[in-house]
């Protein structure tokens, strides 16, 4: 009994760690202003000094993020980074001449020790464990990219309730490897969007499918929106912000590059006028406007319908709880959003907050 309870607790802890680390970047960004507040005090710190244009730094980034995710729950150690193009003062002070430079600052000390090992998450973790006396292992994060094969291709890609992006890759292709890290991030950004699927398929292994969709080079990206399953070429850029902008435009999602909902998420423009009237109406008029809103919501489809129902729920609460409800509830939600909560909860609170902001 006790042990199964423990298993449950440990299981949900692990799940929490995984949930909270798959999308966010856990590397702490340090600046000229914050550096000596965060480093050299009550925590030890590993700091990467980098430049945005430096190739070795880009290569290190996914490894360094894995390291930060794995050490996230260890609050005696900070894993940080400094952009030396921007933060010239601190980079000069620590005599950073080459990028990336990775320096270890023991607890209470601003005298660094240089990390000279291999630039992998495992080697970095080994170094930090040795310096700090910890025993942290690198977590392997689950992938949010759906792996396709002939067994599931049609079921996933031709699903008319999903907008699907498919990368046809070959294991030996260098450009595919370069894209893999960004592609994983794209999938993490949209992993809570029910209507968006980020998938890939080994086109070298499954040649028939590649041929069927006219794939002649790697990587080839094809987009299969809900309403047209022909497969159109994705010709946009290969940076994270390109992909995020593409989906926000094509699929009506409202995510930023961290995977968070933007302030536009949940807003249904066609309900705006009714809400505006509702805010200034007296109690009897409010009831009438509420039934009008109910009718409008019935006509909505997909995610708009889901958000419409949230409007109804919030409007009802506002009628029951009175004038200050929206204002107070927004404050409460903002407070909760500042705490460390799961991504799903953050979505839920942000949607409510956005909709309520049209009520005040
Ligand atoms: C579906 O997509 C294909 C490929 O982009 C395009 O040629 C075709 O016109 C589209 N069909 C419709 C009905 O929009």
Residue 228 CB less than 6 A away from ligand 1: yes
Look up the pTM and report it.
0.69
Distance 232 CA to ligand 1 centre (A): 7
For domain 17-132, the CATH superfamily is Glutaredoxin (3.40.30.10)
Distance 256 CA to ligand 1 centre (A): 28
Task: Give percent of the chain with pLDDT exceeding 70.
Answer: 93
User: Which band of pLDDT confidence, cut at 50, 70 and 90, is reported for residue 3?
Assistant: low
> Whose Cα sits closest to atom 5 in ligand 1?
232
Distance 158 CA to ligand 1 centre (A): 14
Residue 4 pLDDT > 90: no
User: Which band of pLDDT confidence, cut at 50, 70 and 90, is reported for residue 56?
Assistant: very high
Report pLDDT for 217. Answer: 94
Catalytic residue among 84, 91, 176, 251: 176
Shortest-distance atom of ligand 1 to CA 232: 5
Residue 214 CB less than 6 A away from ligand 1: no
Mean pLDDT for 248-256 is: 95
CATH code for the part of the protein at 269-359: 1.20.1150.12
Distance 229 CA to ligand 1 centre (A): 8
Task: Tell me the pLDDT tens digit for each residue of 107-160.
Answer: 999 999 999 999 999 999 999 999 999 999 988 767 899 999 999 999 999 999
User: Which band of pLDDT confidence, cut at 50, 70 and 90, is reported for residue 88?
Assistant: very high
Task: Give percent of the chain with pLDDT exceeding 90.
Answer: 82
Distance 223 CA to ligand 1 centre (A): 11
User: Which band of pLDDT confidence, cut at 50, 70 and 90, is reported for residue 73?
Assistant: confident
Shortest-distance atom of ligand 1 to CA 233: 5
Distance 8 CA to ligand 1 centre (A): 49
> Whose Cα sits closest to atom 10 in ligand 1?
228
| Mutational test site, ligand 1, from 163, 213, 230, max ligand atoms within 8 Å of CB | 230
Told to judge if 57 belongs to the known catalytic residues of this protein, a careful annotator would answer yes
The mean pLDDT of the chain is 91
Residue 224 pLDDT > 60: yes
Task: Tell me the pLDDT tens digit for each residue of 190-219.
Answer: 999 999 999 999 999 999 999 999 999 999
Fold match, 146-251 / 269-359:
no
> Whose Cα sits closest to atom 12 in ligand 1?
228
Cα 210 to Cα 7, 132, 237, 250, 252, distances in angstroms = 44, 50, 22, 24, 29
Report pLDDT for 239. Answer: 93
Residue 211 CB less than 6 A away from ligand 1: no
> Whose Cα sits closest to atom 4 in ligand 1?
232
Task: Tell me the pLDDT tens digit for each residue of 29-55.
Answer: 999 999 999 999 999 999 999 999 999
Report pLDDT for 6. Answer: 53
Residue 75 CB less than 6 A away from ligand 1: no
Task: Tell me the pLDDT tens digit for each residue of 307-325.
Answer: 999 999 999 999 999 889 9
Distance 336 CA to ligand 1 centre (A): 44
Bridge-based pairing of strands 101-105 and 113-114 is: antiparallel
Told to judge if 176 belongs to the known catalytic residues of this protein, a careful annotator would answer yes
Shortest-distance atom of ligand 1 to CA 231: 4
* Domain boundaries of the chain, sorted by first residue: 17-132, 146-251, 269-359
Residue 227 CB less than 6 A away from ligand 1: no
Catalytic residue among 57, 84, 91, 251: 57
285/342 Cα distance (integer angstroms): 39
Report pLDDT for 17. Answer: 42
User: Which band of pLDDT confidence, cut at 50, 70 and 90, is reported for residue 15?
Assistant: very low
* Domain 146-251 sits in CATH 3.40.30.10: yes
Report pLDDT for 13. Answer: 46
Told to judge if 251 belongs to the known catalytic residues of this protein, a careful annotator would answer no
């Amino acid at each position: 009994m006790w042990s199964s309870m423990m298993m449950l607790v440990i299981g949900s802890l692990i799940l929490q760690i995984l949930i909270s680390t798959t999308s966010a970047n856990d590397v702490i960004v340090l600046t000229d202003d914050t550096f000596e507040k965060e480093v050299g005090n009550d925590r030890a710190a590993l700091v990467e000094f980098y430049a945005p244009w430096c190739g070795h730094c880009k290569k290190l980034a996914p490894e360094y993020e894995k390291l930060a995710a794995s050490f996230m729950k260890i609050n005696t150690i900070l894993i940080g980074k400094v952009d030396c193009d921007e933060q010239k003062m601190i980079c000069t002070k620590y005599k950073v001449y080459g990028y990336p430079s990775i320096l270890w600052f023991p607890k209470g000390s601003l005298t660094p020790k240089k990390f000279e090992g291999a630039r992998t998450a495992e080697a970095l973790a080994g170094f930090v464990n040795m310096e700090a006396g910890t025993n942290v292992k690198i977590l392997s994060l689950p992938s949010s990219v759906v792996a396709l094969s002939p067994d599931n291709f049609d079921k996933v890609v031709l699903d008319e309730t999903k907008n699907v992006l498919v990368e046809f890759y070959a294991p030996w292709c260098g450009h595919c490897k370069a894209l893999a890290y960004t592609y994983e991030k794209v999938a993490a950004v949209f992993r809570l969007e029910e209507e968006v699927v980020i998938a890939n398929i080994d086109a070298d292994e499954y040649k028939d499918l590649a041929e069927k969709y006219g794939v002649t080079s790697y990587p080839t990206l094809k987009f299969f929106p809900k309403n047209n399953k022909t497969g159109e070429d994705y010709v946009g850029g290969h940076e994270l912000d390109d992909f995020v902008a593409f989906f926000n435009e094509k699929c009506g999602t409202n995510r930023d590059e961290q995977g968070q909902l933007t302030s536009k998420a949940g807003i249904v423009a066609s309900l705006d006028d009714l809400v505006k009237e509702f805010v200034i109406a007296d109690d009897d008029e409010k009831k009438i406007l509420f039934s009008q809103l109910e009718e409008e919501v019935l006509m909505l489809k997909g995610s708009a319908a889901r958000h419409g129902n949230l409007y109804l729920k919030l409007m009802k609460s506002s009628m029951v709880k009175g004038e200050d409800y929206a204002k107070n509830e927004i404050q409460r939600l903002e407070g909760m959003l500042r705490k460390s909560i799961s991504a799903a909860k953050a979505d839920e609170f942000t949607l409510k907050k956005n909709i309520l902001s049209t009520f005040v």
